Structures are given as structure tokens and as C-alpha cells.
Amino acid sequence: MAARTAPATPATTQPVIFVGNNWDGTVQVIDPDGYDVLGQINAIPDMDERMAEIYTNPVRLAYFLAIRMGPGEGNDQYVDDMYSTRDGRLLVASRPSLADVVGIDTRTGEIAWRFPVDGQRSDHMALSPDGEHVAVSASTANLVHVLDVDTGEEVGRFPSGDTPHENVYSADGERIFHASIGLVYTPLDQPAFDTTKGERIFEIVDADSFEILERFDLRDKLDAAGYSDISSAIRPMAHTPDERYFYFQVSFFHGFVEYDTVTGEVTRVANLPNLVPDMPREQYVNDSAHHGLAMNRKGTKLCVAGTMDDYAAIVDRETFRHNIISRPEDGKPYWATSSKDGSRCYLSWSGTDEMSVIDYRTETEIARVPVGNHPQRIREGFVPADWTPPAG
């Protein structure tokens, strides 16, 4: 099977950075050179139609309100994740409160296609290296859909554990790395009630057949390495360029876990500063101490979003030495991702509604950009070369 590597980018496009503002339902479009805001795309142009459906369906309404009072922290969740097609024609966005994925025309702002996920909530996505498919987690259905980005048609699906969450494609596009996080919205957060948190698993999936190649609960591997006090709920993840070593953020933990895919063992744990030692677990947002992890292209440094600690940090992969780069009051960083050339880390501050750009080499913040309400996912992508923001 030929590897699904990225084809050449059409000359009729321009590269941009997309920032999804979850509580606004908007996507900021940012110039990747000067970090100027080029415009905004409305991710919920069909809001009236969707709400009419929700208000006439008691089950959908119950979940809509539950999402608002649970993971939404009193707000509706309108854009969790987004990617563009390689020609810049469509912006593909997952909309948790609306339980769907949509393809939005970047020129007109109109919805080109819509895919309702199984269950009641959509979540994290991943774009295949060739730009043809997105994998999207269906939070309450315990499965992951894989969709054609141009048409929104489902090309496959695979089962997960409770609350499917993170998805990452391998560099060759042949595998999908996936994790479920369990029941993070319950109040039973103390270690004594860990078994009530549901099925938390890590999977490696064949991206063509959607066969599960490997599946395990990190609990056994943590216990074997002597880390029985660390949760097995894998949150954001990053890996070395050769995809041997994975780094997992896990629930309630201020740091991350190193996992060797060759030996199948947890090899090390990075303990990062816990700046809220007196905070009860019940106050951790969706059980996340830290939520955002990325790696530079060389595989020598990691970028960490210290969510409950309000800091961004760069960590040396060899020594686990850390350098806190920025610490805005009430910043609540919620995501970290690397630029395609691996030289910069983009980090969202969901509390102050900003995006930081951090240089891996100098370990400094080189830009901070105001965005919309509660930014989460940040992705590089494309719009047409002569793009102007759609009206509305």
C-alpha cells in the first residue's frame, strides 16, 4: 500500500493558521508570518435550523443542556476542532453541542455538507497526511468516524472506549493513534473511585481497514512501572519523529508519561510544577491538569499547556528539564500544536482569549494574538490565495 503522504500544495492557496473559538462558534484566520488576523469564519451559520431540531427532540435537548453544564462550563460548545481541505475551499469543523461535523465554504461561509455523528457529541479530529480524510471522535457513541473531507461521506469507523477523545495519524497515513478518556464529567474524581471512570484505552488502528491493531489500558503498564497513583486516562499526546516514544498527558497529572511502543513499557514520567497544590480534583476542568502537548520537528523538545497551572512550558525530551515560558493570570491554556516546519509551538489561552506563538529554539514567546471566546484547537491549513472573509 502506498503511503498517504501530503501532495504538493496548490499554488492557488495561501497558508494560514486557524484558531477555533469554542464558545463563540467562530474560527479566526491568522497570517502565519506576521500573525495578523486576516478574518473570521462563522462555524454555526445554520444555528437557527439546528436549534429548531434540538428544541423539538427531548433527547437532543437534554444532551445539549448537559454539554452546556458539563464540559462547556456553562457555555455551549460550537467548534472543537477544524481542518481545511488542501485547496482551501472548505473548512471542516466538529461542533460538540450540535453533535456533527460540517464542511464550510471558506468563500461564502455556507455549509457545503453536514455529517451528524452517532450519539450526542462530536469532539477531537485528526486529518490524514494526504488531506483526504478526517477522523472524528463521537463522544457518547464510543466510536470514531472517518470522513471524506470533500463530501462528508463516512468511509469507515472503529470502536473505542468510554468518551473517545484524541486522534493522531501516523506520518505515513497508515495508522491512527487513538485514546478514550473515560467518564471525565462525573464528580467521582478521588483515586478511590477510579474504577467508576469507565473504559480508558489506547488504540492503534489500521487507517485503511479500520482494524484494531493494538488495544490496551495504560493502567496495567503504569502499575508495572510503579506509577499506580497516576491516572490511565490519556489526554493529548505527542510522539518522536520515528513514532517509537509517545508522550501522554493523563487526567489530574501535572506532567506527562513517556511510553515506548517497541517494548510496550512506560519508561519515564515527567513531573512538572503543580502551582495549584491545594485545588480539589473536583475543580479540575474535565479532569485535566494539563491539556495540550506538542513536539518540535527534531524530537528534542516538548511544548506543554499547563492548563490548571496557567503556564506554557518547553521541556527538554532527554532530561525533562522545563522552562516556563509564559504565565498569564487566569490563562487556562487549552491546546498546543507545532507548526508544520516544527520550529514553533502554537498555544491557546482559553481564559484570556489569546494565542501564543513560542519559538522552540530560543524558548521564547514571539507573539501573542487576541482571538475569540475560549480558543481551543489551533491548526495550520489553507484558504484560497485571494481569500476575503465571508459576510456575516
5 within domain boundaries: no
pLDDT for the residue numbered 289: 97
**307 neighbors 289 (Cβ within 8 angstroms):** yes
Residues sharing a CB contact under 8 Å with residue 121, sequence separation 6 or more, in sequence order: 63, 67, 96, 97, 99, 138, 139, 140
319 within domain boundaries: yes
Neighbours of 209 (CB within 10 A): 10
8 within domain boundaries: no
Rounded to whole angstroms, the Cα distance separating 383 from 18 reads 10
pLDDT per position as a tens digit, 100-128: 999 999 999 999 999 999 999 999 999 99
Rounded to whole angstroms, the Cα distance separating 293 from 286 reads 17
Neighbours of 267 (CB within 10 A): 12
341 within domain boundaries: yes
For the cut 50, the answer to whether the pLDDT of residue 315 exceeds it is yes
pLDDT per position as a tens digit, 330-359: 999 999 999 999 999 999 999 999 999 999
For the cut 80, the answer to whether the pLDDT of residue 224 exceeds it is yes
6 within domain boundaries: no
- For residues 193 and 73, the model is more confident at 73
92 within domain boundaries: yes
Concatenated DSSP letters of 22-73: TTTTEEEEE-TTT--EEEEEES-TTHHHHHHHHHT-HHHHHHHHHHHHTTTT
Residues sharing a CB contact under 8 Å with residue 370, sequence separation 6 or more, in sequence order: 37, 353, 354
Cell 445539549, residue located: 64
Rounded to whole angstroms, the Cα distance separating 381 from 91 reads 9
> Domain with 218 in it: what CATH number?
2.130.10.10
Rounded to whole angstroms, the Cα distance separating 117 from 114 reads 10
Cell 456533527, residue located: 100
Cα pseudo-dihedral 159, 160, 163, 166, rounded to 10: -110
How many domains does the chain contain in total? 1
pLDDT for the residue numbered 183: 87
- Of 363, 286, 294, 301, nearest to 332 by C-alpha is 286
pLDDT for the residue numbered 2: 46
Rounded to whole angstroms, the Cα distance separating 26 from 378 reads 12
Rounded to whole angstroms, the Cα distance separating 307 from 68 reads 20
260 within domain boundaries: yes
Where in the sequence is the domain holding 148, given as residue range(s)? 13-384
For the cut 70, the answer to whether the pLDDT of residue 77 exceeds it is yes
Q: Span 255-274, mean pLDDT?
A: 98
126: which strand partners?
135
If you count them, how many residues does the chain have?
392
1 within domain boundaries: no
pLDDT for the residue numbered 187: 75
Q: φ and ψ at 208, to 5 degrees?
A: -100, -50
pTM for this structure? 0.95
- Of 11, 12, 14, 28, nearest to 355 by C-alpha is 28
Query: What one-letter code names the amino acid at 102?
Result: V
pLDDT per position as a tens digit, 275-311: 999 999 989 999 999 999 999 999 999 999 999 999 9
Rounded to whole angstroms, the Cα distance separating 276 from 184 reads 19
pLDDT for the residue numbered 175: 99
| Element (DSSP H or E) covering residue 219 | helix 218-224
Rounded to whole angstroms, the Cα distance separating 15 from 19 reads 13
pLDDT per position as a tens digit, 367-392: 999 999 999 999 999 999 999 999 86
The mean pLDDT of the chain is 96
